[in-house]
Amino acid sequence: MPDIVVRPARLADGRELIYFDDEGSTLPAERAEDRRPGEQRPPTATMRQDLLTGDWVSIASARQNRAFLPPAEADPLAPQTASNPSEVPSEYDVVVFENRSPSFGPALADHADAAPEGLADLALPGVGRTRTSVGRCEVVCFDPRTEGSFADLWPNRVRTVVEAWAQRTAALSALPGVQQVFPFENRGEAIGVTLHHPHGQIYAYPYVTPRTSRLLEQIDRYDGDLFADLLAFEQAGERVVLATRHFTAFVPFAARWPVELHLLPNRHVPDLAALTDEERDELAEVALRLVRAVDALYDDPTPYIAAWHQAPVHSHRDSVRLNWQITSPRRGPDRLKYLAGSEAAMGAWIGDLVPEQTAERLRTALAKADAERPL
């Protein structure tokens, strides 16, 4: 493991905060304390079951109070100053902390008796069923700068972010009641981002998400190793964008989004925590190159969601392979794909662009990005 130092701390209201110091960081070991007045945590959200689908919907009204595109001097993810009592008390390289307004939170005493009792309990259908949204939501600040993006980081910093993802995946997977851990990044106002600060999030769910549940059903029906066969199929085709010793990136055969790029490890691993140090080193470079390629498709940055799909914590560890999916609704320089009738109402997707042509455009963009911003 590189010399990345992990420094746990607490915020004034008791929320956990963890500093991840870059290899070779010049930051001091001692960090400033959070001297803001301690506030009582908002009540943990409540989940309601959709009887038509069995899906659970978290009703998290406290999220209405979160910051919305504040100016740089009021950035809640920047290190605290006398004029900006932000969420992070001290200078940092990368920092992770519990979200102040989470969609999933701790089983506080006033709602502990309504916590989910496991997957069997959540699978039961019923009218008007509710459970406390027990889980965890964390914010991952990639950099202390108030502007920029993942693509603007340097490889050493991205390696620290990868280490934070992996270590938090392991820690959150060990929490009682957590069934799935999901690190992700939303980038761009077109995606709905409310903070310009370069950051991502990690959700720890008390259930297996609907998207993953469908994958598990497909795996159980499939005769063979689904991910191994998928990877072999894509490696033999014309949609590969980047191939390295440990990873393969490609535009999927049945891409839904105008820009859709998947990354698979070349060996089976269920989640980020299972990657070796060598794989994490390579992933830092590969991830940075791919995000820069997506940005190089057009003359200005491309909005996207970068999502880490990981195996559930307690099942299918040998059959669900870690995979990273970058998707963007941008279908042209000044055009976005909106989910309307067929996609939004019925879940029946219609692709706007030919995946093979998108792969060619991404290969060209990757070459351009590598030439303009070599690692």
Which of 182, 208, 234 finishes a domain?
208
Which of 144, 174, 208 finishes a domain?
208
Q: Report how far apart, in Å, the C-alpha atoms of 331 and of each of 234, 254, 271, 353, 358 are.
A: 23, 16, 31, 8, 10
* pLDDT at res. 113: 66
> Residues 168-188: pLDDT tens digits?
999 999 999 999 999 999 998
Average confidence (pLDDT) over 240-260 = 98
Residue 1 banded pLDDT, cuts 50, 70, 90: low
CB atoms within 10 A of CB 122: 18
What pTM does this model have?
0.96
Residue 69 banded pLDDT, cuts 50, 70, 90: confident
Which of 193, 208, 223 finishes a domain?
208
Which residue would you say has higher pLDDT here, 69 or 148?
A: 148
312 in the same domain as 267: yes
Q: Which residues contact 265 (CB under 8 A, 6 or more apart)?
A: 246, 247, 275, 279, 321, 322
| Residue 6 pLDDT exceeds 70 | yes
Residue 105: how many CA atoms within 13 Å on its side-chain side? 25
* pLDDT at res. 175: 95
Catalytic residue among 196, 199, 262, 268: 199
Q: How far apart are CA 148 and CA 369, in angstroms?
A: 16
Average confidence (pLDDT) over 116-126 = 94
Cβ–Cβ < 8 Å for 219, 213: no
* pLDDT at res. 109: 59
238 in the same domain as 138: no
105 in the same domain as 253: no
The candidate with the shortest Cα–Cα distance to 108, out of 208, 47, 203, 40, is 40
* pLDDT at res. 313: 98
277 in the same domain as 187: no
291 in the same domain as 225: yes
Domain ranges, residue 350: 212-372
* pLDDT at res. 324: 98
95 in the same domain as 163: yes
* pLDDT at res. 110: 58
Q: How far apart are CA 176 and CA 139, in angstroms?
A: 20
The candidate with the shortest Cα–Cα distance to 55, out of 209, 212, 216, is 209
Q: How far apart are CA 61 and CA 101, in angstroms?
A: 9
Q: What is the average pLDDT value for the chain, to the nearest integer?
A: 94
CB atoms within 10 A of CB 350: 10
Residue 191 banded pLDDT, cuts 50, 70, 90: confident
Alpha helices in 3-123 (DSSP H): 119-123
Cβ–Cβ < 8 Å for 40, 14: no
CB atoms within 10 A of CB 260: 22
For the chain, give the percent of residues with pLDDT over 70: 97
> Residues 26-53: pLDDT tens digits?
999 999 999 999 888 888 999 999 999 9
Number of structural domains in the chain = 2
256 in the same domain as 161: no
Residue 194 banded pLDDT, cuts 50, 70, 90: confident
* pLDDT at res. 224: 97
Sheet holding 46-49, edge to edge: 56-59, 46-49, 130-132
222 in the same domain as 176: no
* pLDDT at res. 111: 59
* pLDDT at res. 340: 87
> Residues 315-357: pLDDT tens digits?
999 999 999 999 999 999 999 999 889 999 999 999 999 999 9
164 in the same domain as 26: yes
Give the phi and the psi of residue 233 in degrees, each rounded to 5.
-60, -45
201 in the same domain as 263: no
* pLDDT at res. 346: 94
Cross-strand pairs, 265: 247
219 in the same domain as 204: no
Cβ–Cβ < 8 Å for 142, 159: no
176 in the same domain as 98: yes
CATH number, domain containing residue 76: 3.30.428.10
Six token digits for residue 114? 């309504």
Residue 239 identity (one-letter amino acid)? R
Q: To 10 degrees, what angle do helices 155-173 and 277-295 make?
A: 120
| Residue 108 pLDDT exceeds 90 | no
Cβ–Cβ < 8 Å for 263, 251: no
Q: Is the dihedral of CA 330, 335, 337, 338 positive or negative?
A: positive
Active site residue 199: yes
